Structure 1
Amino acid sequence: MSKLSFVAIALVVAFSGGASAQSSDPRGACKADYDKFCAGIAPGGGRVVACLNGKRDQLSDTCKAALDSRKK
């Protein structure tokens, strides 16, 4: 395998892993929702998650799925 092929495969794997991590990681998946609805809430003690859950009907589907994955 050539070095170029190896680098191309490594980049594809790196970027595809990041996308799936973001969808299951509330910090990445909910950033826009946090900025919009909970920007004044200081992180820690579950305050941000509580704020986001309080606005659940207004959150993006990606953020809802990430929050749901934390419950499992």
Structure 2
Amino acid sequence: MSKLNFAAIVVAVALSGLASAQSSDPRGACKADYDKFCAGIAPGGGRIVACLSEKHDQLSATCKSALDNRKKK
């Protein structure tokens, strides 16, 4: 296997891990939803999660999944 092919595989695996981490981490998965629905909410005390939870039906699928996974923990 050439060094170029190996490097391409390493990059592909790293990027897939990054996408997976963002979809399970509410901070990455919900950034756009936070900006859209909760931008005026100060962080701390669970206020952002509460705001996003109130808007659950309007959130992106990725954000919904991340929030739902967080609640299961």
TM over 0.5, shorter chain: yes
Which TM-score applies when normalising by structure 1?
Answer: 0.91
User: How far has the Cα of 1:66 moved from its partner?
Assistant: 0.4
SS of residue paired to 1:41: coil
The correspondence of residues 1-72 of structure 1 with structure 2, limited to 5 A, is 1-72=1-72
How many residues are aligned here?
Answer: 72
Report the AA paired with residue 18 of structure 2.
Answer: G
Report the AA paired with residue 54 of structure 2.
Answer: G
Q: How far apart in 1 are the matches of 2:7 and 2:41?
A: 42
SS of residue paired to 2:39: coil
Q: Which runs of 4+ in 1 moved over 2 A?
A: none
Q: How far apart in 2 are the matches of 1:70 and 1:41?
A: 20
Which TM-score applies when normalising by structure 2?
Answer: 0.90
Q: How far apart in 2 are the matches of 1:70 and 1:50?
A: 12
Superposition CA RMSD, Å: 1.0
Q: How far apart in 2 are the matches of 1:41 and 1:7?
A: 42
| 1:29-61 deviation digits (Å, cap 9, x = unpaired) | 111110000000111111100000011121111
- Determine what percentage of the aligned residue pairs are the same residue: 81
SS of residue paired to 2:68: helix
Report the AA paired with residue 51 of structure 1.
Answer: C
